[in-house]
Structure 1
Amino acid sequence: MRTRTRIAAAFAAAGVVALAGCGTDVDDITVGDGKGWPAAHHDGRNGGASPVTGADAVTLSWSRPVGGPIAQPLTIGPDGQMFVTTSVGNCAIFSFQMPTGRKRFCNQLGPSTIEAPTVVDGTTNVYVGDDGAVNSFNYLGQPRWRTPVAGVPVAIQFTGDGNVLTITQSGQVDVLSRQTGGREVPTLQLLGEPDFLKYPGLTRPASGDGLADCATGGPRCAVANSTAVDPETGRFFVTVWEPGKSAASLRALRYADGAVTPLWSADLLTGGSATSPTLSDDGATVYVGDNSGRLIAVNAEDGRTRWTYALGWTPDGAISLVDDLIIPAGDDGYLMALRDGGDRPETAWERKDLALRGTPAQTAGGIGYTTAAIGAGLSLITFDTATGNTIDSDPLPGATGTTTGTSIGPEGEVVVATRLGEIFTFAPER
């Protein structure tokens, strides 16, 4: 018996060594080609647009509840595998297969996972935050790594060199290896490092502290939105509300040369941030919305305001941008588009008859999709991005309330999820 115990212990030790030896510093996992919907707003610049050519007619393929509420947009891998966070007993992150809606896996994480978006790489590894950590799973849901952080990562993106950029609601910035989860640069605190000499009794806040304010960009949530990343320059843009400030700021930082370095800060978001920042294709302009109902265009180089536009409603969540065509979201508003005229915006078209209940998304071929309130329910609207004209309208059977986002699959599928917790997937009619 003693010999068997020694042998078992030896095999266990060998297994630990083997697992420890599986890591490598060589990054052989691609970020992906952008097919599918790899991040909350599709890509690093938060453009809310897909390179896939959209279909002018779609049909409901399947729908299913997840059993709990949904707060973040679904992400979709290059092969169509879908990921969504929620808060359902033993399941905080679900994965579904595109053709049928069949569940591939669900994993238990912290209760705040519902507020954490996901990103997916080219090999369908998924990265997601929860209470006090960043996690990575493979396409089967098997854990790859877990890295502790302070707070809940509410912003997660890929950097230009293929690492994972995360920012928690309390302002902790980390750049992590996609292979190992190890920190690539020293952690940066956007609100500054705590002074334990001045406040010796200072304790670490709970991971979910202030998280309730993130949905509205309120003052107790320092960072409420996703981050826009410029892969060419290493610059990234984040909204920050510092305690005691009368307005939130848009900040630019740069990840390069083994460090994250602040570049500029502009206190311009009245009432807090309403949208994630969105970066133009050329990296020259950052667009962002605030809770006073404004869209703001900012010079990405120095933070100077180029123009502001009063929408008359809060542009919640996201901005869809293709070339100079800007389509804002906002459940208090309607479907409309602006064109950036350089020193001022110009109205391209308005659809005041279509009350938004989700975020618009644009595709190649001049096709756009959004969810709108039609009668007592919700419908997926297919529209012409050049004119705003409705091309197709498809009801979401039994759906009420609003949706978290509009995601486009690798074959032109359109996926939306209601905040009450039901997924609707539409297939193109080819």
Structure 2
Amino acid sequence: MRVARSSLVALAAVTALVSVGCGADDTPSDIFAAGGWPGIHADARNSDTSTVEGSRSLSLSWSRPIGGPVAAYASIAANGQIFVTSKMDGGCNLFSFEMESGRKRFCSILGPGVIASTPIVDRETNIYVGDNGAVSSFNDHGQPRWRTPVVGTPISAQFTGDGNVLSVTQRGQVNVLERQTGLRVAAPFDLLTQPDPIQNPDLPVPLDDLGLQACFAGTAECPVANTPAIDLDTGRFFVTVWQPGAPVASLVALRYTGGDKPTITREWKSDILPGGSATTPDLSADRSTVYVNDNENMLYAVDAATGATKWTYDLGFTPLGSQSTSDDGLIIPSGGKGGHLLALRDAGDRAELAWERTELVQAGVPAQAAGSTGYTVIRKGDGPDAELALLTFDTTTGETLDEDTLPNAKGFTVGTSIGPKGEVLTPTLLGELFVFESDSDSD
């Protein structure tokens, strides 16, 4: 039986396992250095974009059932090694596959909360992933490197500018962990107002996975539902937070200082998210603006330094998943509740509609590659048996370039990732991974 952990226990010494073949050094590393799609939203600013030239003609390379539901993106190392998590009734729930063949490289058994965390990958192909009450690291063979207890279940992590691991749990605990050992480099920071144990001595300790199922929709039962976006130069990072009893959720800015005496401090909060948020905040390429959605159809552009709202845009639907924001400022929201495909541009004091395809209902989340090429999953028809297809489109005009069926796939997909050779990966919520490759590679 899992021992309930209090905040005091979480501050205790790390339970470190012997590192086996980690092959890493002390040089600072971030997810940009890894190549591929090394984090849930590709990079530190959560852009959902790739610098790889996108193929405009794809074919299904392979697909395979994972064995249980999948709720987060697949991540991809620079060498093409794939990592994905699932929820299983016994057995493995962290998987690694080879890109070319789909062969299983390894699988590991973690707590069921691992379904909420996409592994992040450093340049040595070590991975870092959260589950119930801990952050763990494994090498590329699946051998454990370390495991650090935390309060709650970590949502997908990020790397800091000095090469450490930034982890935020759904219960609001922020930790920065040393990449080689898992040791804390700064005191944990609590985003949520915690009950006073002296005033409430009989208050039970909540389970680590409390409210985790609500994180997918970003509602009040999951106080911190989304992956942080981080400015690697300044250490400022952004999370969505729903304080207990608050009427709306907030966008919160914090700062990790690094250096000889690393600290985590709060800079500002903006109470702008009615209904919460099912989308991860993401930053503009110059890190001056943070974009975030509420659960009442609105997209917000917020000044990253002050928290002031620059503009809002009514999408007409509530996205379930992060938007893709390119270096040149093209914002493509995800689908959700009948959401169609469209693109916006930030005009400073307003958003301008670049194009829209009202006839295309998204059943997934978009990703942009170099060469003005984008990918998302669309639903063909109505009803529970509607066919799903991967749409390849021109991001400048929205024009369809290619369309490839996901054989026998139902429901919707939970992420779109781009590999180091332009492969496109998407897992379904029901638990099947589809991998597409360029037609030129399949000849």
Structure 1 length normalisation: TM-score?
A: 0.93
Is 2:217 aligned against 1:216? yes
Contact in 1 for aligned 2:60/2:434 (Cα 8 Å): yes
Shift of 1:273: 1.1
* Higher alpha-carbon deviation: 379-388 or 24-33: 24-33
Contact in 2 for aligned 1:29/1:122 (Cα 8 Å): no
Secondary structure of the corresponding residue to residue 213 of structure 1? helix
Distance in 1 between the 2:187 and 2:23 partners? 20
| CA gap 1:276/1:19 in 2 versus in 1, 3 angstroms | closer
Shift of 1:29: 7.0
| CA gap 1:101/1:137 in 2 versus in 1, 3 angstroms | same
* Counterpart residue number, 2:329: 324
Shift of 1:250: 0.1
Contact in 1 for aligned 2:224/2:240 (Cα 8 Å): yes
Contact in 2 for aligned 1:226/1:238 (Cα 8 Å): yes
Contact in 2 for aligned 1:35/1:51 (Cα 8 Å): no
Gaps of 5+ in 1: 1-17
| CA gap 1:200/1:253 in 2 versus in 1, 3 angstroms | same
* Counterpart residue number, 1:78: 78
Q: Which amino acid aligns with 1:123?
A: E
| CA gap 1:22/1:363 in 2 versus in 1, 3 angstroms | closer
* Counterpart residue number, 1:7: none
Is 2:230 aligned against 1:239? no
Distance in 1 between the 2:424 and 2:59 partners? 9
Secondary structure of the corresponding residue to residue 214 of structure 1? helix
Contact in 1 for aligned 2:76/2:82 (Cα 8 Å): yes
What is the correspondence of 1:304-383 to structure 2 with a 5 Å cutoff? 304-322=308-326, 323-332=328-337, 333-375=339-381, 376-383=386-393
Shift of 1:87: 1.8
Shift of 1:193: 4.5
Secondary structure of the corresponding residue to residue 282 of structure 1? coil
Q: Which amino acid aligns with 1:318?
A: S
Shift of 1:155: 3.6
Distance in 2 between the 1:35 and 1:49 partners? 12
Distance in 2 between the 1:65 and 1:290 partners? 33
CA shift digits 1:326-356 (9 cap, x unpaired):
0000222011000111100010000111110
Contact in 1 for aligned 2:97/2:106 (Cα 8 Å): yes
* Counterpart residue number, 1:427: 437
Shift of 1:378: 0.5
Distance in 2 between the 1:116 and 1:61 partners? 25
Distance in 2 between the 1:53 and 1:22 partners? 33
* Counterpart residue number, 1:27: 26
Distance in 2 between the 1:20 and 1:46 partners? 30
Contact in 1 for aligned 2:20/2:145 (Cα 8 Å): no
Q: Which amino acid aligns with 1:82?
A: I
* Counterpart residue number, 1:392: 402
Contact in 2 for aligned 1:60/1:394 (Cα 8 Å): yes
Secondary structure of the corresponding residue to residue 372 of structure 1? strand
Contact in 1 for aligned 2:19/2:144 (Cα 8 Å): no
Gaps of 5+ in 2: 1-16
Secondary structure of the corresponding residue to residue 415 of structure 2? strand
Shift of 1:317: 1.3
Distance in 1 between the 2:92 and 2:81 partners? 17
Contact in 2 for aligned 1:338/1:348 (Cα 8 Å): yes
What is the correspondence of 1:75-224 to structure 2 with a 5 Å cutoff? 75-88=75-88, 89-224=90-225
Contact in 1 for aligned 2:28/2:162 (Cα 8 Å): no
Match of 1:268 among 268, 272, 277: 272
Shift of 1:135: 0.5
Distance in 2 between the 1:419 and 1:306 partners? 34
Q: Which amino acid aligns with 1:415?
A: L
Percent identity, aligned pairs only, is 54
* Counterpart residue number, 2:287: 283
Shift of 1:34: 5.0
Shift of 1:201: 2.0
What is the correspondence of 1:286-297 to structure 2 with a 5 Å cutoff? 286-297=290-301
Distance in 2 between the 1:26 and 1:399 partners? 42
Q: Which amino acid aligns with 2:293?
A: G
Distance in 1 between the 2:276 and 2:49 partners? 25
Distance in 2 between the 1:21 and 1:398 partners? 40
Shift of 1:190: 0.5
* Counterpart residue number, 2:419: 409
* Counterpart residue number, 1:256: 257
Secondary structure of the corresponding residue to residue 51 of structure 1? strand
Greater Rg over alpha carbons, structure: 1
Distance in 2 between the 1:408 and 1:203 partners? 44
What is the alpha-carbon root mean square deviation over aligned residues?
1.8
* Counterpart residue number, 1:3: none
| CA gap 1:218/1:199 in 2 versus in 1, 3 angstroms | same
Shift of 1:27: 1.4
Q: Which amino acid aligns with 2:370?
A: A
Distance in 2 between the 1:79 and 1:24 partners? 15
Secondary structure of the corresponding residue to residue 317 of structure 1? coil
Distance in 2 between the 1:41 and 1:53 partners? 18
Q: Which amino acid aligns with 1:328?
A: P
CA shift digits 1:207-247 (9 cap, x unpaired):
11111211111111110011100001000000000011000
Number of aligned residue pairs: 413
Secondary structure of the corresponding residue to residue 392 of structure 1? strand
Distance in 1 between the 2:185 and 2:62 partners? 41
Q: Which has more strand, going by share of residues?
A: 1
